[in-house]
Structure formats: structure tokens, C-alpha cells
Chain A
């Protein structure tokens, strides 16, 4: 099956700093990738849709200036959490559609802790 990687898997940063998370499709091209956030014991909440060659589409309530998304190529999307606060601590997961179905392949996720 298709493989999606994320880096880093875990990151701890101080309040006010920025953190960049990378999402790569390893064996297929993805013109679209999705970024989700998951708080402990909760469901995945879609944050934004990353589009290669154009601006990302953000879900209602997600600050685009705080969560910067760049879809640099057909295999790479990045999410930068700017001026991080402790409430941004969460599990961030990216996904990309692959195959002929609407199935999503998920990256392993990045656990962000802001101190």
C-alpha cells in the first residue's frame, strides 16, 4: 500500500517558538494532502486541505496565519505552527488520498508538546 511519512514524530518546543512538521508521500504523488489534529481520546478534526501549487483551504475556526501550510511539491506538504502555545499541544496527522477509492493513507503523526 501507499506510504506516507511524517517528521518529526515527536517535538517539544517552548511557547512562542515555531515548529515545522513535514508530510511526505513516499511512493506516490499527492496533489492534495489533509492535515488533522487529534486531542487525547478524541476524534480527528480536519484543519486544512493542502493543495499543490495553490493556497491551502482552512476549516472554520483554524487560523491560517498561525498554521502555515505549504505544499511545495507533489510529495511534500509542511505544516508550521507559529508562535506555539501550550494549547497547541496535540497529535498532528497528515493524510493523502491514494488509489481509485476515496481511501486515505495516514502518516504516523507528530506529537507536539508546547511547554
Chain B
């Protein structure tokens, strides 16, 4: 079964609101990666986290890797319509990249 779960499955927000997606793995991960897939497009790499408790920021996006290296989160501050898409976390289990179930974000202007 699916080893990497994400919640929520869908999120609809008003432009300017914040958004968070949570990623949970059934196993400890050596690293966690985040990808964004626009509607009709292919996944595009956003970031990789390696260290326990690591936090990285990319402009309005904040990524966090849990202390136990089994969970992660992506937080978007003040969403914009360009943030629309599906956000996937992915981790090597053990040496193959397994994708999470994804969270589809819709932003209304």
C-alpha cells in the first residue's frame, strides 16, 4: 500500500490565505523531497531536506523535516493564483523515490 501519505487531499483557499500540506511516511527517510505539478504538467523539483528538524525557506514557501525524519510539511504564506497545482512529497524507500499521495491546491482570486 501507499507508504507516504499526505493530508489534506484537496485544499481550496482564497488568494492571500495561507496553505499547509503535511506528509507522513511509514518508514524513516534519509531525505524528503518536494515537487510541484501544475495542471497538465509534470512534477518539478522544489527542494530536498536531509537533516532531522531541518527548515528551509524559498520566498513564501517554508519546508520542514520532522525530528524523527518520518514527516514533513510545506507551508505557503499568502497564496497567489500561481501557486495552483498539486504538491507532492517524495522519499527514497529504500533507494527508489516513492511519491506521497499529493495535495491539490486551488486558489481563488
Contact = CB atoms under 8 A, between A and B. Distances in A.
Contact of B45 (A41, A49, A105): A105
B42 A108 contact: yes
B73 to A, nearest CB: 18
A87 interface: no
B104 interface: yes
Interface residues of A, number: 20
Given A93-B42, A93-B43, A44 B96 contact: no
Interface string A27-48: 0000000101000011111100
A56 to B, nearest CB: 12
B59 to A, nearest CB: 18
Contacts of A36: 99
B66 interface: no
Interface string B69-109: 00000000000000000001010100011111110100000
Interface stretch (A14-22, A62-70, A96-104): A96-104
Contacts, number: 48
A107 B48 contact: no
Interface of A: 34, 36, 41-46, 49, 93, 95, 101-109
Given A43-B88, A49-B96, A101-B31, 15 more contacts: A42-B102, A43-B2, A43-B99, A43-B102, A44-B43, A45-B99, A46-B99, A93-B43, A102-B33, A102-B48, A103-B45, A104-B33, A104-B43, A104-B45, A104-B90
8 closest residue pairs by CB, A with B: A106-B42, A44-B99, A109-B42, A103-B45, A43-B102, A43-B99, A106-B43, A43-B101
